[in-house]
Structure 1
């Protein structure tokens, strides 16, 4: 039997190890994003507008591949609104759209 077309067992073990490490890294990255989303939800519920501003800043700094363009766009709007000099301690106008976008991301990652 010609085995040149098949990887050797040591190569398979190394590939399996690399795949497992990559999988752990991806899962940790997704969990970190979901933690920011959870922080945003908790801050919103507690009417902690500083917490909302911090979470929206973290979300706005992600790339579209990481979390989605809609979340990033809404997070930028919320963060800009929260940092506007005339803003008061109140719920930003774009917060509802950001929360909706975050819920969509959470539901996609749980599937």
Structure 2
């Protein structure tokens, strides 16, 4: 699975999902290349605005940690409206979405 990401949102450690080619079809950067700060600067110089990256695969432990962080954020975000029944339903729906793994 791939994600399309703005060049300005790239972070070191991500991996390109597809070959990057110039207008003539010449290979600039092969798929699978790990992104580092130098490559980000090169992509900006190429004038690229976005690239496809490989979606990272998380271990079960990393997935559990991510889910816990998301639920903690959700709880903090809705703390001010915890007495509002509509906000409670929205919070519950978002929590179910996160728990399903669809938001990963």
TM-score by length of 1: 0.29
Higher relative helix content: 1
Select the structure of larger CA radius of gyration: 1
Q: Could you say which structure has the greater relative contact order, defined with CA pairs below 8 angstroms and 6 or more residues apart?
A: 2
Higher relative strand content: 2
